[in-house]
Copies of this chain bind each other. A is one copy, B any other.
């Protein structure tokens, strides 16, 4: 069985951003995503204001190129204004052509 190495991008954000974030990642090249409801605490962007509330946890398997595009877009348009956490991990998948 051939395993393909791709990137798993996970984004945790306020639930109100769900629709916008899904549109963003699809526009940037994601072919699919998984979403779960979450809650949590963190520090809010540059304002270091605490927030706690209804969040989403959105994950998508993409190429490294698309992962970097998503992070750049978050940094440009979301991190300064919203409570958003994003992280990238290495994953191995079967049928890598599904994701790119």
**A23-41 interface mask toward B, CB cutoff 8 Å, 1 = contact, 0 = none?**
0000000011111111111
Q: Which of A35, A40, A75, A89 has the most CB of B within 10 A?
A: A40
User: Do B33 and A61 touch (CB < 8 A)?
Assistant: no
User: Do A41 and B36 touch (CB < 8 A)?
Assistant: no
The number of chain A residues with a CB under 8 A from chain B is: 40
Bound: A55/B8 CA distance, A: 18
**Chain B residues closer than 8 Å to A8, beta-carbon distance:** 87, 89
**Chain B residues closer than 8 Å to A33, beta-carbon distance:** 40-42
The answer to the question of A92 belonging to the interface, with a C-beta cut-off of 8 Å to chain B, is: yes
Bound: A61/B86 CA distance, A: 10
